[in-house]
Each structure stands twice: as C-alpha cells, then as structure tokens.
Amino acid sequence: MDISLSIASFPLDSDTIQDMKELLQFGDKDYSKPLFSSSWDQFDAKGFAVLAYTEENELLGFAAALDLIGLDSYEWSVFVHPGFRRLTIGSALAGGVDYGFEQRQAVNGVAAFIEEESAKSFMESLGYQPDFKEIELEAEPLEDFSLPKETLIVPYNGELEALESLMSSAFDEEIIPVIHYNIESSDRAVFLMKRNGELVASAALADEGGKELWITAFAVNPADQGQGYGKAFLLWCRYYAALQGKKRVVLEVETENDALAVYQKSGFKPVHTVAYWKKPQLKFK
C-alpha cells in the first residue's frame, strides 16, 4: 500500500478537517482533545498537522501539534486507524512532526497520549521517556450557587501585578507567560476571587465554542489555602458554566498535585489520564 505524508499548517481546510473527524470515530475513546481538534480551523492557532493518505485519498492517520502559548514549545499527538497500526504509519507521522518542528524552529516538543499500553509502547519505540501525567476531570454545571460572605468573583481588569504575584506564589515564575496568554486570548476569560478587596484566587475559563467550559491556570494564594476558597471558586465556575449554557465543566490537573482532593470535593470526577512524554536529547534549536 502506497501512503504519502503531507504537512499542513492551521487553519486546515474543511475537507481535511472532515476526514480527520471521521477517522477519529474509529477510536475507542475520545482522542480529540490531545489532538487539538478545536484549533484545526483557527487562524490564530500556531500549529500544524501531518497527514497520511493513501493513493485513493483515504486518510489512515494523522498527527497534530500546537504551540499552546506562543513560545515555540509544542505539544503533539498521533492517531492511526486501528486496522492499519502494524504498517508503522505512527512512526512515519512522528518523523513528520519532528520535521515540522525543525521547519518552525521549535524549542521543545512534548507528546501527549491518553494513558494506555499501546501508547506507552509506541512512545518507548520512538525513544521517548515519561515526563508527567495529568488527570482530566469533569463536572456538571450548577444551576444555583452563592459565594461565601465577604468574597466576590470579578473579571480581570488590569490587576496584573497582583495576579502575577499570586500565580508565581502558587506555581513559579514560569507561569508568567501563561498569564499573559490567558489575558490576551479571545477565547479565554480570566476571573479573580477577592475577599474584602484582596486577591485570593484566580482562574482562566476557556470557551472553545463547544459544549464544554475548560478551567485552566487555577490557583489559590498559598496563604489562603485550606480555608474553602478553592472549593468555592470551583463551584462558582460550574455555576458560570450553567449561565453560559454549557453541558460540561472540564479541567486537567497533574496526578502529583496536592489540590486533586479539592477538585474531587467540588464535584469533579476522573475521565481519563493523559501521559506526557519527552525526548531529552531532541533539540530543535
């Protein structure tokens, strides 16, 4: 069987997107999120796809890579039709991803796959090593909710210094570019929880145009943790999702994160685990 590879930058044309969506229907799980399906048609998305077509113009597999915050650091993943995985199409697509990184002078590339034995074997065959894992959690929107006394949640309105201070304390200074990306992105809204005017927590809510509302960059000031503010903010996010007509509230958290219990107490349940892989010796610049 003759198979040809091609690389296409986002946004992809409608026919290609339809081919990719139809191929994903052969999967036994929803692989659309690790493959960035919401970004395929976005003009401002810095990403690309590697496509494996037969001579009969049948798509048998593809890879998708996306620079999430505009720092030339990509995440990528691959999907191949289950009936053709013995043809090493996945390895060829991974090679196409490496070539795409070189073309774009990428600084780094991390692979993301829903955790399963076949993905583990595939990554190890390419020389990748485990990096970290995240659990995807989901909850239903809340129709009613009231914040604790003396607290309110408001949209970000220029409180950059206070926001950077809170996020750096909760994470580290590497979070700063993420803060700016969330503020500047048209599909994300940053909200702040304040107590008597003082900033105690923050979250960015991402609306990718579907039925889901994503919570990202969620943090509580370390000095205010353990007092119920995190749970209250998460419950408010579920309430906000209901106001926006969403059907599902979703977030991802590293498996080693101490806040996992807070998410579960706020009504979030595990969906699946995404494993991230890196190839330390691979440098693109």
Residue 103 lies in a domain: yes
Q: Is pLDDT at 70 greater than 60 in this prediction?
A: yes
Q: Does one domain contain both 75 and 167?
A: no
Quick: pLDDT tens for 12-60.
999 999 999 999 999 999 999 999 999 999 999 999 999 999 999 999 9
Q: For the chain, give the mean pLDDT.
A: 94
Reply yes or no on whether the pLDDT at 6 is more than 90.
Answer: yes
Structure confidence at residue 233 as a pLDDT band (50, 70, 90) = very high
The reply to whether 62 falls in a domain is yes
Average pLDDT of the residues in 267-281: 92
In a shared domain, residues 12 and 120: yes
Structure tokens, 201: 């927590």
Domains in the chain: how many in total? 2
| CA-based nearest residue to 86, from 128, 131, 122, 49 | 122
Asked if residue 8 and residue 128 are part of one domain, the reply reads yes
Q: How many angstroms separate the Cα of 208 from the Cα of each of 37, 40, 89, 177, 234? A: 10, 12, 30, 20, 19
264 within some domain: no
pLDDT band of 74, cuts 50, 70, 90: very high
Q: How far apart are CA 66 and CA 142, in angstroms?
A: 32
Question: Are residue 13 and residue 125 in the same domain, yes or no?
Answer: yes
pLDDT of residue 153: 97
- Please give the pLDDT value at position 164: 97
- The C-alpha angle with vertex 150 and arms to 146 and 154, in degrees rounded to 5, equals 70
pLDDT (0 to 100) of residue 48: 98
- Contact call for residues 97 and 113 (beta carbons, < 8 A): no
Residues 47 and 111 in one domain: yes
Angle (CA) 203-38-4 rounded to 5° is 140
Bridge-based pairing state of the strands 269-278 and 108-114:
antiparallel
State the Cα–Cα distance between residues 96 and 80, nearest whole angstrom.
14
As a whole number, mean pLDDT of residues 157-169 equals 97
- In this prediction the pTM is 0.88
The reply to whether 109 and 166 lie within a common domain is: no
Same domain, 159 and 114: no
Residues 122 and 164 in one domain: no
> In angstroms, rounded to a whole number, what is the distance separating the alpha carbons of residues 24 and 28?
9
- For residue 228, the model assigns a pLDDT of 94
> Which stretch of 11-20, 73-82, 253-262 has the lowest confidence by average pLDDT?
253-262
In-domain check, residue 83: yes
For position 161, which CATH number holds? Answer: 3.40.630.30
pLDDT of residue 166: 97
Residue bearing tokens 């976005």: 42
Across the range 227-231, mean pLDDT stands at 95
Read off the pLDDT of residues 93-133 as tens digits, 9 standing for 90 and up.
999 999 999 999 999 899 999 999 999 999 999 999 999 99
206 falls within a domain = yes
pLDDT given for residue 281 in this prediction: 62
**Residue spans of alpha helices (H) in the chain:** 14-24, 89-103, 117-125, 160-170, 176-184, 229-243, 260-265
Same domain, 122 and 240: no
Considering the domain architecture, whether residues 157 and 101 belong to the same structural domain is answered as no
Q: Which domain holds residue 109?
A: 3-133
Residues 11 and 101 grouped into a single domain: yes
Mean pLDDT of 153-158: 97
Q: Is 263 part of a structural domain of the chain?
A: no
Q: What is the pLDDT of residue 86?
A: 85
Is residue 285 assigned to a domain? no
- Whether 53 contacts 60, CB under 8 Å: yes
pLDDT value at 252 more than 90 = yes
Residues 145 and 129 in one domain: no
Indicate the pLDDT class of residue 279, thresholds 50, 70 and 90: confident
Domain membership flag for residue 270: no
Q: Which of 133, 150, 168 is the last residue of a domain?
A: 133
pLDDT digits (tens, 9 = 90+) for 176-214: 999 999 999 988 999 999 999 999 999 999 998 789 999
